[in-house]
Chains A and B, each alone.
Chain A
Amino acid sequence: MPNLSDAGREEYKNSEFILEAAGIDFTYSNGYKVFENVNIQLKENTFAAIIGPSGIGKSTLLRILGGFLKPDTGAVYLKGKKIVKPTSDIILIHQSIVTFPWMTALENVMMPLKIKKIPNELAEEKAMKYLELVGLQGFENLYPKEMSGGMRQRVAIARALAAEPTVFLMDEPFAHLDELTAEGLRQDIYNILFSPETPLKVVVLVSHNLTEVVELADEIFVLNNIPATVIANIPVTISRPRNPRSDEFNQLLDNLYTHLTPPRIKTR
């Protein structure tokens, strides 16, 4: 347990949540206030989704959750510990699929392990395990440019998993894939992420695709208004695997659409 000095009281708090954003306010450098009092709390083994109208600040919120951006007020806590800078405990998966073209799939996935100074042999073994987990066994010696978009995204996910994070932040991870590939990866992703072989506890997904959100999420946070705040927190209790043609799936979809009205400017 951390030492709770006076300064430490701000840094740590007892929390039942894995990831918690408390009272987040954020203003862009041009003076535009994006968020006001955004609160998100996520328990263990939660796949959360953040939705909202275009330009509302969903990707910005992900970057705040990852410690890439510092909120004006409020804080983000990982297992009660305040996040003040990016950490390999919270890994961001980008909308553009990011791989390193000068490394093979295996080398891409080994990179986070090498940085942690894990011996080469063990790093390779672990990297192979993650490649297998994302369904890329047999492709480990290919370079990213020799792979399809879907395979590249699997490499990016395996590399992120190799960092052995607690939280995954996914910024529209399927946006650049064709519908068939995206659907295949969507079907796999939940099992990959929450497989017993990964230390992941929470996934936060940002997406415009409401079907994708309902298919994957345990909990949906709806952002709206200017400045944005969480206007709805909707638990998804539909049992898995989820059938997009089922009535309850479509009811939930309709419900989400009602929240996605054009943003209104808040008056004081």
Chain B
Amino acid sequence: MNVFILIILAVFATTGRVFFLILLAIVSGWFLSYASIEEIYIPLTEIFESVPVISFFPIVLLIFVINIGGELGIELAVDFLVFTAVVWNIWMGEYQAFKTVPNEMVEVSENLNMNIWQKLRYVYIPFSIPRVAANLFPSVSDGYFYITVSEVFTVGTVQYHAFGIGSLLMEFYSKNEMQYIFYSLLIQGILIGFVIVLLRQYSKYAVAKYTLDTDAPIIRRGRINVRTTTRIISTIARNPVSRLAGYYRQRTSYKIKKEEFEKEEKRYNIGKYLVYSIGIILLILIIYGSLKLIFSIDRSTWMKLFSITPEILLYMAFDYLRVLIILLISVIMAIFIGYYLAMHRIMEAIFVPIIQIFSSFPPPLYFPIIFGITYPFIYHYFGNFYTEVYVLFLGFISTFYYVFYSYWIGVKALPSEYFDIMKNLNMGTLSRLRYIIIPGTFPYLIAGITSTINSAWGGLMIGEYWPYIVGDKSLEVQNGLMKFIDVNTLNGNIAYAAWASFILAIVVAIYSIFFTKKMMDLAKKKYVAEEGIFAT
């Protein structure tokens, strides 16, 4: 087949996968949100949201590739990995929307004796559209990132491919076919640019049509206005704040209703059983996979697994240090750049779309080129430390966007009165950041930091061990958990990889419960800027 046609088909296959999975997440989210019970749904979603997608990798391999096998198994494995990456944002956004439907609207739907489908169709789904639109940007970026990573994976001597731009590029890189690499990146870039424009237009449409009481202007066909889009994004971007503040308020009225209406009780029960069923199916799959793994391992291997645990913990400490450095650099840059752009409309109109397109362009696709060009200089200045520079850089470009975008939206969403007060009191930049901007955007920062940490792991997963990244050169760190998992997966030593992933998942879950949730609770209690404005 002609290579160009192959590239175009691969780009479309990857994009199709991303959009199909996002669509699946949206539709499933509507039903789950309607039926959900917050006691289970919220903690589960919050924990999964902050667990790196890599934690799912060994389970995915086991269930889909080894048990199902064939093209279907590979396709399902890739899709499941990406699904886990994109689904949580979307589900949480929809859930928030469903829980914040104004009581008056719900009363009207009950007044008209709407059934569940009618309520979904006429009330809940339309109301959730702006939130879905707001979550499409990060979900598409996430989707592209993980799909390009997941399209090729190696277990032991077997390399698995799912057709797409990620796997095609790996092939071009291995054959050093630079001209095809450039064409692939160009075509992928054009498509991503097109997707971004499409999403922006859709966001504008969604806000103009579905948001209650907004000053967003009516959309006229064929006009793209960056400034308007910026305003729209800040209008619809209530997700982080609502995520922290919204549902607790709603929970009360929901419970009162539950007690008051037998019908509601029935619906609640249907929902409960639905969620329980899905949960049980997932649990059975995980237990089945785990048991299969456990029984396939003999006692001596178990002893080995326990004996390498301290080593794994040490590697994890190295990786947490890397994540911390990436996070610090990202947060500091985001705070200053985000504030500067939010304050300067022209610069914002130029740079925000650039950052947006850049962020949707998966780093695994273009990183080898950057490596190839910069290697002599970086090696010259940093010596053997060069691998760390590249790994941190890869982590940074994979993740900076999340905290920047979240924080920038937070600054845009701050009440305009705060800006009047900052001007009125002649506050300097540092005072503004210290007293108002950073506390006022705290919920957004926490949401952004959570996503940043998650994606930093993704960056490390690729960067810590990348054999033959360009020509005969490999990128390989001395110590790192992601390298450990990568190398053991590659050598077919799934038990070691799974054990390391399992320990990582436990640590991350503990971290999520004791740190992320605590910070979110703090943000919810204290740092919701909207609560500072009192207006009846």
Contacts and interface: CB of A to CB of B under 8 A. Distances in A.
A233 interface: no
B301 interface: no
B425 A101 contact: no
Interface residues of A, number: 31
Interface string A103-115: 1000000011011
A268 to B, nearest CB: 32
Contacts of B532: 98-101, 144
Contacts of B161: none
14 contacts: A86-B423, A94-B417, A97-B533, A97-B535, A99-B534, A100-B418, A100-B435, A102-B439, A102-B442, A102-B526, A115-B431, A144-B531, A153-B534, A176-B536
A176 B426 contact: no
A119 to B, nearest CB: 16
Nearest to B438: A102
A207 to B, nearest CB: 16
Interface in B381-440: 415, 417-418, 420-421, 423-427, 431, 435-436, 439-440
Interface string A139-175: 0000111000100110000000001000000000000
Which 4 pairs between the two chains have the least Cβ-Cβ distance? A97-B534, A86-B423, A96-B535, A101-B532
Q: Is the interface of B mostly helix, strand, loop or mixed?
A: helix
B527 A88 contact: no
A111 B435 contact: yes
Interface in B483-536: 526-529, 531-536
B420 A92 contact: yes
A100 B439 contact: yes
Given A87-B426, A115-B425, A149-B534, A101 B526 contact: yes
B424 A96 contact: no
Contacts of A92: 420-421, 424
Contact of B420 (A68, A101, A152): A68
Nearest to A151: B534
B446 to A, nearest CB: 13
Given A102-B526, A149-B536, A176-B536, A112 B531 contact: no
Contacts of A88: 424-426
A91 interface: yes
Contact of A102 (B421, B527, B535): B527
Contacts of B417: 94, 96, 98
A111 B418 CA distance: 13
Contacts of A152: 534
A66 interface: yes
B533 A68 contact: no
B531 A145 contact: yes
Contacts of B535: 95-97, 176
Interface in A67-103: 68, 85-88, 90-92, 94-103
A115 B442 contact: no
Interface in A165-207: 176
Contact of A96 (B415, B440, B527, B529): B415
Contacts of B529: 101
Nearest to A163: B425
A98 B526 contact: no
Interface of A: 66, 68, 85-88, 90-92, 94-103, 111-112, 114-115, 143-145, 149, 152-153, 163, 176
Contacts of A85: 423
B536 A86 contact: no
Given A152-B534, A176-B536, A100 B426 contact: no
Nearest to A107: B435
Contact of A86 (B424, B528, B531): B424
Contacts of B426: 86-88, 115
Contacts of B425: 88, 111-112, 115, 163
A67 to B, nearest CB: 8
Contacts of A66: 424
A176 B536 CA distance: 5
Interface in B416-475: 417-418, 420-421, 423-427, 431, 435-436, 439-440, 442
A111 B440 CA distance: 14
B433 to A, nearest CB: 12
B523 to A, nearest CB: 9
A216 B527 CA distance: 36
Residue of A86, A90, A92, A163 ringed by the most chain B CB atoms within 10 A = A86
B420 to A, nearest CB: 6
Contacts of A98: 415, 417-418, 421, 532-533
B245 to A, nearest CB: 10
A267 to B, nearest CB: 32
Contacts of B527: 101-102
Nearest to B528: A101
Contacts of B436: 100
Nearest to A85: B423
B519 to A, nearest CB: 13
Contacts of B423: 68, 85-86
Nearest to B423: A86
Contacts of A103: 439
Contacts of A153: 534
A24 B417 CA distance: 24
B434 to A, nearest CB: 9
Contacts of A163: 424-425
A86 B533 contact: no
